[in-house]
Amino acid sequence: MDIRFRNRAEAGSVLARKLERYRDMAGVLVLGLPRGGVPVANAVAIALNAPLDILLVRKLGVPGQNELAMGAIASNGIQILNDSVIQYLGIPEHVVEAVTKREVEELRRREGEYRGVRPPADIPGKAVIVVDDGLATGSTMKAAIAALRRQDPAKIIVAVPTASLETCEELKSAANEIVCAITPEPFYAVGLSYEDFEQTTDAEVRTLIQQAATRSP
The CATH number of the domain holding residue 126 is 3.40.50.2020
Claim to verify: residue 146 and residue 210 sit in the same structural domain: yes
Claim to verify: residue 52 and residue 65 sit in the same structural domain: no
pLDDT higher than 60, residue 216: no
pLDDT higher than 80, residue 131: yes
Enter the pTM of the model: 0.87
Q: Pick from 128, 138, 129, 142: which is nearest to 163 by CA?
A: 138
Q: Give tens-digit pLDDT for 112-130.
A: 889 887 888 899 999 999 9
Confidence of residue 217 (pLDDT cuts 50, 70, 90): low
pLDDT at residue 1, rounded to an integer = 41
> Considering 81, 113, 145, which residue would you say is the last residue of a domain?
113
Say how many Å lie between the first and final Cα of the chain, rounded.
41
Taking residues 105-117, report their average pLDDT.
87
Claim to verify: residue 105 and residue 198 sit in the same structural domain: no
> Considering 113, 130, 152, which residue would you say is the last residue of a domain?
113
Residue-number span of the structural domain to which 133 is assigned:
8-58+120-215
Claim to verify: residue 134 and residue 27 sit in the same structural domain: yes
Claim to verify: residue 77 and residue 178 sit in the same structural domain: no
CB atoms within 10 A of CB 136: 18
Q: Pick from 190, 108, 94: which is nearest to 141 by CA?
A: 190
Question: Is 130 a domain residue?
Answer: yes
CA distance 165 to 170: 9
Claim to verify: residue 133 and residue 194 sit in the same structural domain: yes
Question: Is 2 a domain residue?
Answer: no
pLDDT higher than 80, residue 190: yes
Claim to verify: residue 97 and residue 156 sit in the same structural domain: no
Claim to verify: residue 130 and residue 160 sit in the same structural domain: yes
Number of domains in the chain: 2
Claim to verify: residue 65 and residue 52 sit in the same structural domain: no
Peptide bond into 186 cis (omega under 30): yes
Taking residues 167-191, report their average pLDDT.
94
Confidence of residue 78 (pLDDT cuts 50, 70, 90): confident
What b/e readout covers 167-200, taking b as 16+ CB neighbours within 10 angstroms? bbebbeebbeebbbbbbbeebeebeebbeebeeb
Claim to verify: residue 14 and residue 104 sit in the same structural domain: no
Taking residues 135-141, report their average pLDDT.
87
Claim to verify: residue 127 and residue 104 sit in the same structural domain: no
Question: Is 3 a domain residue?
Answer: no
Q: Give tens-digit pLDDT for 139-175.
A: 889 889 988 998 899 999 999 999 999 999 999 999 9
Claim to verify: residue 200 and residue 132 sit in the same structural domain: yes
pLDDT at residue 162, rounded to an integer = 97
Helix (H) or strand (E) holding 13: helix 8-17
